[in-house]
Amino acid sequence: MTHSDHRPRIWVSRPLFDDILDRLREHFDVEVEDDDREWTRQEMAEKLADKAGAILGVADPVDASVLAHTPLLRAIANRGVGYNNLDLAALSAAGVVATNTPGVLDETVADFAWALMLATARRVTEAERYLRAGEWKGMSFHILLGGDVHGRTLGILGMGRIGQAIARRAAGFRMPVIYHNRSRLDGAIEQDCKARYVDRDTLLGEADFLVLTVPMTAETRHIVGAAELARMKRDAFLINIARGGVVDDAALVAALSEKRIAGAGLDVFEREPAVPPAMLALDNVVLTPHIASASLATRRAMAGMAVDNLIAALGYGPDAGRPPNAINADSSLARAG
């Protein structure tokens, strides 16, 4: 690949929609990876050494050790909402603006939370394995008896935009909704979501379906561990579409193995892409590979937003110098590059 001398260079860490990347190519010299793979900090430093900006996946790490080798870097666009892969303080200190893609995936992720709730309660994936294995010998009144979803209590831990979108869907299932959040929502939002604020212990004790939609932070790490699982009902289900690490996977395996809760639906894991072998062996858990936002329309919208953020952060386009979704607003956009 030949590089022009004057155009800023951009790195895209994972494959993206080519027609959307064409918008980047109007302004920049763009290097796109062909493989969707994990990157070490050392590899990140090497890839970003001569780049002005990058579009990254939410597992691609950028911290002070990486930034020490990136003299030209001025902007990072995370292709997703979460940004626990980024050290925001280090980025701000280095004058690098960071952005994410909020809002655009809320409804799609909320849909998927319900997919996991229904699949887990009604043993959908277990039933499919049973059928594919040739074990189904005809209609039986007693096989694969699951739990109902309608009329049961939906509990949401973390009531941001995604949590609210999940709550709004509960009306069709005639489910009472309770939630806990760092701060109570405005009354109008509670009314719109038909959701009642409770303390965390009440949430754990009353929810038939406990859905986690908290961000991954130092405070939320293992926010559901052995003690929290012990407070849940024996016929309750845990649904995690947040981040791996907000649940203590080992404690959850123990609770599921001993039937201390009825089941779990998990889209995220502590050490992705590794899943604990003991968890893989359990029938009362539905496992999906971090796909909650994976509708074609939403992933295209996320890619487009990341591209728009990067173009603006690097001083081009209608929002030049004002990226719509900056997450470290205290950073300077003045780093030379």
| Residue 37 designated active-site | no
Residue 142 in tokens: 């007693």
The answer to whether 253 touches 276, Cβ cutoff 8 Å, is yes
Joined together, the tokens standing for residue 164 give 């609210």
Catalytic member of 14, 152, 180, 243:
243
Of 287, 335, 296, nearest in space to 51 by CA: 335
| Residue tagged active-site, from 79, 169, 290, 299 | 290
CA distances from residue 10 to 118, 225, 301, 302 in whole angstroms, order as listed: 42, 41, 20, 18
Tokens of 253: 């395996």
Grouping H, G, I as helix, E, B as strand and the rest as coil, residue 42 is helix
Cβ–Cβ < 8 Å for 197, 184: yes
46 burial level (CB within 10 Å; 0-12, 13-18, 19+): middle
Strands 53-56 and 9-12 come out as parallel
259: DSSP letter: T
To the query of whether residue 290 is one of the catalytic residues in this protein, the response is yes
Q: Among 168, 272, 300, 335, which one carries the catalytic annotation?
A: 272
Residue 272 is among the residues annotated as catalytic for this protein = yes
The residues carrying an active-site annotation are 243, 272, 290
